[in-house]
Structure 1
Amino acid sequence: MTKTFTPAEVANHKTPEDGQYIIIDSGVYDITNFIDEHPGGSRILKRVIGKDASKQFWKYHSENVLKKYGERLKVGEVKDAAKL
């Protein structure tokens, strides 16, 4: 069963100890262990931790990127589509 989060719950996941979560579309992704692997550098990801990063993600990535990494990083779905 997929875990569900509210945007506020995702916003509470901003530290490595609690997990560093982002939202892309309705998916919630834990990027804690991916930050240092990110080809664009960690700084860009750190700006969107705890937030809906959909707009920034789709600006620079194709669907293939989400297919490649998404399954490994996805921890759930967001209940409310409201933007943070």
Structure 2
Amino acid sequence: MPTLTKIYSMEEVAAHNKQDDCWIVIDGKVYDVTPYMDEHPGGDDVLLAVTGKDATDEFEDAGHSKTARELMEEYFIGELDEASLPEIPELKIYKKEEPKDSVQKLVDLTKQYWLVPVSVITISVAVSVLFSRNK
């Protein structure tokens, strides 16, 4: 008769975060590593540091042996409910503009605000014409 696998939420796993009650998640599987805390070669602080989150990356980065992977099965208690994982917001990437030199900035401003220089020139020409007629 097949055994039913218990499904745990990440919230349930995170509640077991003490040395005398420690659960971890690796590859979507939940492990109760409480009995293994004193035997873990990296110390209990390594296991406590990954409670309440997916420890797959940390587990893989440590380069565990085949024996360690087989030993894990002793502590398997169920599967993680993937729907209980928090949604990761989409990362927005903004393009950083290249800094421009001051001359280029002035040219860009002049193009953007062309009305100001044209107005100054028009007023200057009109004043010049008026003064030349008065003489």
Q: Which runs of 5+ in 1 are unaligned?
A: none
Which has a greater percent of strand?
Answer: 1
Q: In the alignment, is the contact (CA less than 8 A) between 1:20 and 1:50 conserved in 2?
A: no
1:20 aligned residue (19, 22, 29):
22
1:38-77 matches, within 5 Å, as 38-62=40-64, 64=66, 65-66=68-69, 68-77=70-79
User: What TM-score does the superposition give when structure 2 sets the normalisation length?
Assistant: 0.54
1:8 aligned residue (8, 11, 19):
11
Structure 1 stretches of at least 4 aligned residues deviating more than 3 Å after TM superposition: none
The aligned length equals: 80
Cα RMSD after superposing both structures: 1.7
Q: Which residue of 1 aligns with 2:31?
A: 29
Post-superposition shift, 1:63? 6.0
Secondary structure of the 1:33 match is helix
Post-superposition shift, 1:7? 1.0
Q: Which runs of 5+ in 2 are unaligned?
A: 87-135
- Percent identical pairs in the alignment equals 38
Which has a greater percent of helix?
Answer: 2
